[in-house]
Chain A
Amino acid sequence: MIRIVAQEVTYVTGPVAETSASQTDAARREVGVAETKKLQRRRAKPADRRKTLEILFFISPALILIAVFMLLPIIQAVRYSVYNWKGFGPLVDFVGLKNYARVLQNEVFTDAMIHNLIIIGGSIALQLPIGLGIALLLNRKMKVQSLLRTIIFVPYVLSEVIAGVIWFQLLQPQYGVIDTIMSKFGIQGPAQGWLGTPELALWTVLAVLTWKYLGLAVILFLAGLQGVPSELYEAAEIDGASWWQIQRKITIPLLGPTLRTWGFLSMIGSLQLFDMVWILTGGGPANSTTTMASFLVSEGTKRQNFGVAAAASVILFVVALILAVSYQQFVLKRDAQPADERIKAKKVKA
């Protein structure tokens, strides 16, 4: 780990000298800016006010959209979650936090949370090594490179619903393609089918998800690989490093920010997982594939317990928020910091 840090520092030594030299400059400039601001405020040029208005005017559509389609629904969900409500009629039956208790005491929901966690862990554990491997292979110069890249990316482009329906048919017990091929080799598929056996269903869903989202991981990793300067490879090669050594010591460490961003996207996606589960299993069999999102949808639209569904959605929101913020804090922070600050921090550590 320490060695990786050292490498990164050496890689960015170029700008370091510059930053420290320009720091006093920047301080001087800041004072200057503050003074001019004061002056501007005193004079309150009409041109400035117009600029502010202009900015407001141009960002207001976006702000309104965010308010109407994001803030308002969140507030509404919180409001519904404290009522016993069937989806129509006035909100009158105030129940306080009972809906939350109902959700958290419901074994189906707590199991759903565990399923979500399994999918978060499972997708990273599967897609990271496979995706990285494929990306490293596809990054080598070869004849059909772009064709292979396209093939890998196709599942991701496919609509989730269509992919789900296709896999549902492939995985049919007895008559499905997969079972038919297996029986040609004399292997018997599970009697209830891959999606019908409670012990296998979640893993089957995970396999389909891996197939679907591997393309995204590969494309992101490939993009990250473009950012690795070729001089480093050359230098390493001159120093006599093997292909494996180059990947391990140069490529993967420099791919760090991309990997961490992908991990974040994958985590949020797994938390909100709904479409694929809904189509493949509907949360069944025996609730073995229920996710938090599928739980709240069936609670709301199938059972018309909109209060309970709203409470579940608020819990999902809070879980996602906590995970996202802590990931930002502990994992992504180093990428989000401006380069010079990061180096400063590291220098202090060293």
Chain B
Amino acid sequence: MKSTSRTAKILALAATGSLLFSGCASGSSAQTESADGTTTITWWHNSNNGEGKAYYEKVAKDFEATHEGVHIEIQAMQHEDMLTKLDAAFQSGDAPDVYMERGGGELAAHVAAGLTKDLSELAIDEIGFLGDTAGGWQIDGKTYALPYSLGAAGFWYNKALFKKAGIDKAPETWQELLDASTKLKDAGITPISVGAGDKWPAAHYWYYAAVRECAEQTLADSVTNLDFSDQCFVKAGEDVDQLINAEPFNAGFLSTPAQSGPTSASGLLATGKVAMELAGHWEPGVMQGLTEDGKGLGDDTGWFSFPAIEGGAGNPEAQLGGGDAWAVAQDAPDEAVEFAKYMLSEKVQRGFAELDMGLPTNPKAKDAVADPALASMIDARDKAPYFQLYFDTAFGASIGGAMNDEIALLFAGKSDAQKIVDASQNAADLEK
């Protein structure tokens, strides 16, 4: 009797266990089209709080209202989390239908693995009005994603501190930048903050110097052929080295993070501890998040383009930057493409710009950007004769990572201009 009851217990346990397991299994299986004919689109984005999140929920509702039988399943995640989860989703082959692509080598790898849908024909109108803007998301003449926000990197500066140091106008040449830094130092102000602890903020200096030193064609060729043999890349390193030797950076910049906390590079600028920082279009938003009143530098926020470098072969008005684009997974339903296109529409882009969620790419929505510093950056972006994606995006994570590491070593005084080129070329050769 005793043993029977034990067996029964074991059976019961086993039954519960299998129920649990099967429960999990049925819960996680995602179905694109369910029995009653509704189509579900999964959408991942990184506006995970406040107004941005609410706005995207509204956008999805509006789309559902005009497209009968479509349900949009939103997953809003913190940016870094989203990147990790996207990688995992690609590994398991369970990618969301609509997701963010940063372009360049990363996109090329996704395309080569057959993960991303070719939108060239499906979104021909959108690609038309995007024009050059979509360049970073095109491979062999085909467009794989629709950029909805694109920003140039440049110097964000504190107007009040510049005035205090007696600098009347924003530096336009490399020499003027060096002079400004000397003037700021003389006034007892730390000129520049850089989050070299995260490496990429330091690397942006080298990228931009290369954009100024290298001709447009040289840059384009280096991206396609993965070739860094042109002397302009070495010159870029020498320019950056010259700046480092002038010691304009905040104390402890080698371990300073880019954006987290009040002692990060952005935090130092936001709290008036330094006069300027080279950063992308996200900077005002980041600074707002790092100040107690939520205003960042407020009216003191200024922006100037990366200075021209004397004797460089690059166009001094060319811009370096990056952006985000909506991509559609290879096996996603047609409605997903419709949704990606809808998000590029004037209506959605206007709302997006009004909430300062990014810099709209639809030309009709550009005037909705209210912030004067951001507006001046959009002008520079649209005036630029060509637009270069951040190198770590353009060349892909593997080459970009090797490049960034070596540039960070230059900032630490443990490398030189030639070694950056060598390290990048070595990593590139492994990709060929």
Binding site for B on A (CB under 8 A): 54, 57, 86-90, 102, 108, 169, 172-176, 191-193, 195-198, 201, 281-282, 284-287, 298, 301-305
Contact = CB atoms under 8 A, between A and B. Distances in A.
Given A298-B401, A305-B398, A87 B87 contact: yes
A285 B251 contact: no
Interface in B80-126: 84, 87, 90-91, 109-110, 112-115
A191 B197 contact: no
B414 interface: yes
Contacts of A287: 405, 409
A199 to B, nearest CB: 11
Q: What are the 8 A-B residue pairs with the smallest beta carbon separation, nearest first?
A: A89-B113, A173-B252, A193-B252, A88-B90, A303-B401, A196-B255, A285-B254, A286-B412
Contact of A304 (B114, B256, B397): B397
Contacts, number: 99
A298 B401 CA distance: 9
12 contacts: A57-B10, A88-B87, A89-B113, A102-B430, A173-B255, A176-B263, A192-B253, A192-B255, A195-B252, A285-B408, A286-B254, A304-B398
B56 to A, nearest CB: 26
A174 B251 contact: yes
Contacts of A201: 255
B189 interface: no
Interface string B187-226: 0000000001111000000000000000000000000000
Nearest to A193: B252
B372 interface: no
A172 B263 contact: yes
Q: A interface, by DSSP: helix, strand, loop or mixed?
A: loop
Contacts of B113: 86, 88-90
Contacts of B115: 88-89
Contacts of B408: 284-286
Contacts of B297: none
B397 A284 contact: no
Given A88-B110, A285-B412, A172 B252 contact: yes
B69 interface: no
A169 to B, nearest CB: 7
A322 B297 CA distance: 56
B109 A196 contact: no
Interface string B52-95: 00000000000000000000000000000000100100110000
Contact of B412 (A174, A193, A198, A282): A198
Nearest to B397: A304
B252 A192 contact: yes
Contacts of A282: 197-198
B169 to A, nearest CB: 30
A281 B252 CA distance: 12
A286 B109 CA distance: 29
B353 interface: no
Given A89-B112, A196-B255, A175 B263 contact: yes
B98 to A, nearest CB: 18
Contacts of A176: 263
A260 to B, nearest CB: 37
Contact of B255 (A87, A108, A175, A195): A195
Given A286-B412, A303-B398, 9 more contacts: A86-B113, A87-B91, A89-B115, A172-B263, A192-B251, A192-B255, A193-B254, A286-B408, A286-B414
